[in-house]
Amino acid sequence: MRFMVIIKATNVSEAGGPPDQEIMTAMGNFNQELVKAGVMLAGEGLQPSSKGARVRFSGKHRTVIDGPFAETKELIAGFWLWQVRSKEEAIEWVKRCPAPFKEECEIEIRQVYELEDFGPELTEETRLQEERLRAELSAKK
Amino acid sequence: MTAADTHRAIEAVWKMEAAKVIAGLTRMVRDVGLAEDLAQEALLIALEKWPVSGIPPNPGAWLTTTAKHRALDHFRAAERSERKHEDISRELNKLERTPPDLDSALDDPIGDDLLRLIFIACHPILSTEARAALTLRVVGGLTTDEIARAFLAPEPTIAQRIVRAKKTLAQKQIPFQIPRGLDLAARLSSVLEVIYLIYNEGYTATSGAELIRTSLCEEALRLGRILAELEPAEPEVHGLVALMEIQASRFRARVDARGNPVLLLDQNRMLWDRMLIGRGLAALERANSLTSARGAYHLQAEIAACHARALAADQVDWEKIVSFYTELAEIVPSPVIELNRAVAVSMASGPQTALELLEPLLADPLMKNYHLLPSVRGDFLARLGRHAEASTEFERAASLTQNERERALLSDRARASAANVAPHA
């Protein structure tokens, strides 16, 4: 099973200053452990929300809102995609992660839906639609 | 946290740490079976203590230290009661005379112990089935029950298989070493064979009831990815990883809504997992950067990659696939590979040339009862408009297959070919 492991933003990550060298080294080592254990599938750090944007959906209207965004703690600063054997294993790995920031922060663990999880509710047609979209997105990368 | 939560957390920690703990202990006691027993004893102690004390900050080291104490207790008790157990007392002496070995067993920064463990669990002295069960047990940290369910085998059968394997390794005094030089190639191929066997056990599972078996694919992929980091200079390891990643990318496309298998060329490529394909192609690149003399897994990965790169079934580079099959047939001569090569040739140069390639296979005793030969031959004949002969071949194929769904499919094709004959009759 796969989990997305999300590092929540802090004032520091949102300020976008140079990363702390000590933390970077520790994170590098941790990432290496993840790879050596066959756990890490992907992972990226994200730039501050000031460089991002949001699109709000309301009926037929689409409103673009430029960053930065308030409610810092709800934003994300980075993520991993892990393959592990249980949620408990994901939690155990996160506990071993070096603190991503010197200030108080959170890492959130979310299980990825596998298509099987949708069961019969996801008809063959919606499946195809979703997958087509996914394939197009990755083709554009 | 409830007691059940703690229990699950301990199980997770065990699965993460088992291989390292057992590897360190095997280095100490020079017997993988004993090491695993000791590690299991440490796990039992953990299950008793951790719900009260909490999981220690370094659970792997805790388990190793606890097991090490159990080892010393064992040896001392054995020595006190029966001096005649020369082996055991010799072990004890060795342990007491060489304490640094014990300490270094606690920490193994470069993973050599883990690699030794993988090599010993996959030792060619054991049957492939025994190697697979022992590897899942000591390297994967799976319980005997989990292994039995995954292999659709009764638990006592698997338990006995593991016990016998451990005994054989002890009796033959298989050294806990990383093979080097000429030995390495043979030993490595034994490891890769086991990983691919585990993978294929999972891959053949299709229905929801068999979902436990698909976890074997994840387990094999994990083992492969770990091995790729432990043996980064071995191209065949990356070749196998590439092959497994690319095959896993087709997981969702290989059965239809009713659970019937879908042939590769009929699969909806939109259902293929692009991230896994990306990982597979990256592993293949790693293999190619290491050698130009491709091994069997490496070549199969190249073939799988030809399909993965094509966005539509009619964009597959069949010429390239034919050349990879030709290379594969040179290093692993096999009628099954020849059959596959003929299929690729039929796509690249047409069914007539391909049909001629099947001639030598018809006389091969290994192929006598192999349903895919008449099935493929029937397909070539049908494409050439020789429907009567095609129908006979499909009927023969249907009579040879063990698989119900396949039989129905082949019988349908036999009828369809026969119907095509009728207008001319």
What pLDDT digit, counting tens, does each position of B276-292 carry?
Answer: 999 999 999 999 999 99
Q: How confident is the model at residue B67 (pLDDT cuts 50, 70, 90)?
A: very high
Whether residues B65 and B124 fall in one domain: no
Residue B226 lies in a domain: no
Q: With pLDDT > 90 as the criterion, what percentage of chain B qualifies?
A: 66
| Residue B184: pLDDT over 70 | yes
Q: How confident is the model at residue A132 (pLDDT cuts 50, 70, 90)?
A: low
Q: How confident is the model at residue B205 (pLDDT cuts 50, 70, 90)?
A: low
Whether residues B66 and B145 fall in one domain: no
3-class DSSP state for residue B12? helix
| Residue B425: pLDDT over 80 | no
Separation in Å, CA of B268 to nearest CA in chain A: 8
Show which of B194, B216, B238 is a domain's final residue: B216
Show which of B216, B248, B279 is a domain's final residue: B216
B275 vs A contacts (CB less than 8 Å):
41-42, 81, 138
Output the pTM of the full model: 0.85
What are residue A10's phi and psi, to 5 degrees? Answer: -135, 175
| Residue B97: pLDDT over 60 | no
| Residue B26: pLDDT over 80 | yes
Residue B21 lies in a domain: yes
Inter-chain contact A88–B223, Cβ cutoff 8 Å?
no
Cβ within 8 Å of residue B309, ≥6 positions away: B281, B317
Whether residues B120 and B209 fall in one domain: yes
B111 vs A contacts (CB less than 8 Å):
36
Instruction: Provide the 8-state DSSP code for A20.
Output: P
Inter-chain contact B224–A38, Cβ cutoff 8 Å?
yes
| Domains: count for chain A | 1
In chain B, the N- to C-terminal Cα span, in Å, equals 78
Whether residues B37 and B66 fall in one domain: yes
In 3D space, the residue among A108, A114, A44 whose CA is nearest the CA of residue A79 turns out to be A44
Mean pLDDT of all residues in chain B?
88
Q: What's the pLDDT tens digit per position in B115-174?
A: 999 999 999 999 999 999 999 999 999 999 989 988 888 999 999 999 999 999 999 999
What count of other Cβ atoms lies within 10 Å of the Cβ of residue B53? 10
Determine the pLDDT at residue B107.
Answer: 47
Determine the pLDDT at residue B104.
Answer: 46
| Residue B251: pLDDT over 90 | no
Determine the pLDDT at residue A123.
Answer: 45
Q: Are B219 and A80 in contact (CB under 8 A)?
A: no
Whether residues B117 and B168 fall in one domain: yes
In 3D space, the residue among A12, A8, A23 whose CA is nearest the CA of residue A106 turns out to be A8
Q: How confident is the model at residue B109 (pLDDT cuts 50, 70, 90)?
A: very low
| Residue B89: pLDDT over 90 | no
Q: What's the pLDDT tens digit per position in B341-377?
A: 999 999 999 999 999 999 999 999 888 888 889 999 9
| Residue A133: pLDDT over 90 | no
Determine the pLDDT at residue B84.
Answer: 47
Which residues sit opposite A54 in a β-bridge? A65
Tell me which residue range forms the domain holding A76. Answer: 2-140
Inter-chain contact B252–A131, Cβ cutoff 8 Å?
yes
Separation in Å, CA of A138 to nearest CA in chain B: 7
Distance in angstroms (rounded) separating the CA atoms of residues B32 and B126? 14
**Which pairs with CB-CB distance under 8 Å and at least 24 residues apart come from B403-411?**
B405/B260, B405/B261, B406/B261, B406/B371, B410/B371, B410/B375
A4 vs B contacts (CB less than 8 Å):
none
Distance in angstroms (rounded) separating the CA atoms of residues B338 and B243? 19
Mean pLDDT: which of A124-128, B50-54, B294-298, B402-406 is highest?
B294-298
Cβ within 8 Å of residue B387, ≥6 positions away: B381, B417, B418, B420, B421
Residue B272 lies in a domain: no
Mean pLDDT value of segment B87-114: 55
| Domains: count for chain B | 3
Whether residues B76 and B179 fall in one domain: no
Inter-chain contact B16–A92, Cβ cutoff 8 Å?
yes
A81 vs B contacts (CB less than 8 Å):
275
Cβ within 8 Å of residue A71, ≥6 positions away: none
H/E stretch holding B410: helix B404-421
Exposure string of A57-94, with b = 16+ CB inside 10 Å and e = fewer, is eeeeeeeeeeeebeebeebebbbbbbbbbebbbbbbbb
Q: What's the pLDDT tens digit per position in A57-105?
A: 999 999 999 989 988 889 999 999 999 999 999 999 999 999 999 999 9
| Residue B231: pLDDT over 90 | yes
Inter-chain contact A116–B211, Cβ cutoff 8 Å?
yes
Determine the pLDDT at residue A6.
Answer: 98
What count of other Cβ atoms lies within 10 Å of the Cβ of residue B143? 16
Whether residues B100 and B172 fall in one domain: no
Q: What angle do CA A51, A52, A58 make, to 5 degrees?
A: 150
Determine the pLDDT at residue B91.
Answer: 56
Inter-chain contact B272–A41, Cβ cutoff 8 Å?
no
Mean pLDDT value of segment B322-349: 94
In 3D space, the residue among B264, B259, B361 whose CA is nearest the CA of residue B304 turns out to be B264
Q: What angle do CA B198, B200, B206 make, to 5 degrees?
A: 120
Determine the pLDDT at residue B99.
Answer: 42
| Residue B381: pLDDT over 90 | yes
Whether residues B104 and B4 fall in one domain: yes
Residue B54 lies in a domain: yes
Whether residues B137 and B173 fall in one domain: yes
Determine the pLDDT at residue B402.
Answer: 78
Provide the CATH number for the domain around residue A55.
3.30.70.1060
| Residue A37: pLDDT over 60 | yes
Size of interface A-B (CB pairs under 8 A): 72
Which is more confidently placed, B151 or A136? B151
Inter-chain contact A86–B8, Cβ cutoff 8 Å?
yes
Tell me which residue range forms the domain holding B25. Answer: 1-109
Amino acid at B195: I
A128 vs B contacts (CB less than 8 Å):
268, 270-271
Whether residues B124 and B47 fall in one domain: no
Separation in Å, CA of A106 to nearest CA in chain B: 19
Separation in Å, CA of B218 to nearest CA in chain A: 8
Determine the pLDDT at residue B256.
Answer: 78
Whether residues B99 and B34 fall in one domain: yes
A38 vs B contacts (CB less than 8 Å):
221-226, 229
Amino acid at B210: E
Determine the pLDDT at residue B98.
Answer: 46
Whether residues B3 and B57 fall in one domain: yes
B15 vs A contacts (CB less than 8 Å):
85-86, 89
Show which of B85, B109, B133 is a domain's final residue: B109
